[in-house]
Amino acid sequence: MQRLKLIPFIFATLLTMVAQAQVFDVPYKDEAPTRTLLIPAQKPKAVVLLFIGGHGMLNLKEDGSTKNTHTFMRSKELWAQYNINSVLVDTPESLGRGKSDMRPSINHQQRILNVVNYYRQKSGLPVWIFGHSRGTISVSEFVNGGVEHEKLIAGVIIAGTVNTVSINANVKSPILAVHHKQDSCKVTPYTVSQDIIQDRPNHSNAKLVLIEGGITDGQECGNRAHHGFNQNESELIKAGAQFILQ
């Protein structure tokens, strides 16, 4: 009988231990805020901010739901097992592509700065920035923004890097590049990731990780192709987590 009474207590305790995803709107001037979705770990050691590719919009609702199927959405809960808080970073408007790409713009970079500062202050933990595909433009432009930006982050992760991305030679932050061996997207050749890591200064903490396997489906630059690490999500997150925690 005593054991039966313990069951509701144990169940309630387990429920309190389950971290709930939360939406936080980070203010930006007098314009629409930058919406973020935090998936907290129980005993976090770091925070990773996730920037998707494409037009950059997740269209996160107030409850954190979205129809977006980006690899970061599919894998958002996997970070917690490594004691890392993951944060999906949305944008209130399309960031465009090609010549109309707004990722290098002052407004977009200021939004990133606001989000970095918000989660530094909120968590008191090291903050990493992780961009996939066109999201690599967002994070590379940020770290190229000068020493003051570098001081705010613990490091940078890029995956499926776009061919226009470069990271300045004077950047000292740890950098991890992840690429899928079978990525056939024309604007994200493997050599871009390779060159970025090879061009780091001597004694830099820089690493290139290649992933293979999984499946590819649909457009070659899409979320369900090798470019989007389809069914390689666990390997992608493991690579990022191990680099963060090393």
- Is the pLDDT assigned to residue 1 strictly greater than 60? no
Residue 113 has pLDDT above 70, yes or no: yes
In a domain, 117, yes or no: yes
Residue 2 lies inside a defined structural domain of this protein: no
In a domain, 1, yes or no: no
The pLDDT tens digits of the residues spanning 199-225 come to: 998 888 999 999 999 999 989 999 999
pLDDT, tens digit (0-9, with 9 covering 90-100), for 170-204:
999 999 999 999 999 999 999 999 999 999 988 88
Query: Tokens standing for 28?
Result: 């930006």
Question: Residue 71 and residue 233: Cα distance in Å, rounded?
Answer: 7
Question: For residues 41 and 30, what is the distance between their CA atoms, to the nearest angstrom?
Answer: 32
Phi, psi values for residue 59, rounded to 5°: 55, 50
Q: What pLDDT is stored for residue 19 in this prediction? A: 62
pTM of the model: 0.91
Residue 6 lies in a domain: no
Domain assignment present for 214: yes
Please report whether residue 25 resides in a domain.
yes
Look at residue 158 and tell me if it is in a domain: yes
51 lies in which domain range? Answer: 20-245
Q: What is the pLDDT of residue 98?
A: 77
Q: For the domain that residue 85 is a member of, what is the CATH number?
A: 3.40.50.1820
C-alpha to C-alpha distance for 176 and 193, rounded to whole angstroms = 9
The amino acid sitting at 236 is L
Q: How many domains does the chain have?
A: 1
Long-range contacts of 10-15 (CB under 8 A, 24+ apart): none
- Please report whether residue 13 resides in a domain: no
| Full 3-state SS string of 30-89 | CEEEEEEEEECCCCCCEEEEEECCCCCCCCCCCCCCCCCCCHHHHCHHHHHHHCEEEEEE
- Collapsing DSSP to helix, strand or coil, 131 comes out as strand
